Amino acid sequence: SQTIHQWPATLVQPVGSPLSLECTVEGTSNPNLYWYRQAAGRGLQLLFYSVGIGQISSEVPQNLSASRPQDRQFILSSKKLLLSDSGFYLCAWSVGALYEQYFGPGTRLTVT
């Protein structure tokens, strides 16, 4: 069966520091991968998606970037965090003809 991992689970970082969040998927090949951010009362916002290694698309301009160095690995990064980057970050995958997406456990990021 497929599983999705995210780490770290929680992170507290000062403004201006770098960021690296990692997501890995097991049990499937060539998944579509997604990064979402969830802010209180605002639902989920799609940040990036990837349909293959090295293929990254951004949905909104922001202080973040994403990379996909391996088929089942998706990384969210920032060179300098802003206070507004605080939130709950969720990674998700889908594959093939599936329209639904499956989510990881999330990373709670607090920028101080």
Partner 1 sequence: AQSVTQLDSQVPVFEEAPVELRCNYSSSVSVYLFWYVQYPNQGLQLLLKYLSGSTLVESINGFEAEFNKSQTSFHLRKPSVHISDTAEYFCAVSDPLNSGGSNYKLTFGKGTLLTVNP
Residue ranges in contact with partner 1 by CB under 8 A: 6, 32, 34, 41-44, 46, 49, 51, 57, 59, 90, 92, 94, 99-106, 108
Shortest CB 79 distance to partner 1, Å: 26
Nearer to partner 1, 43 or 69 (CB): 43
Question: 63: left (phi > 0), else alpha (psi -120 to 50), else beta?
Answer: alpha
Nearer to partner 1, 50 or 78 (CB): 50
Shortest CB 107 distance to partner 1, Å: 10
Closest CA to 76 of 85, 67, 63: 67
Closest CA to 48 of 66, 22, 61: 66
Whether 95 and 86 have beta carbons less than 8 Å apart is answered as no
Shortest CB 95 distance to partner 1, Å: 11
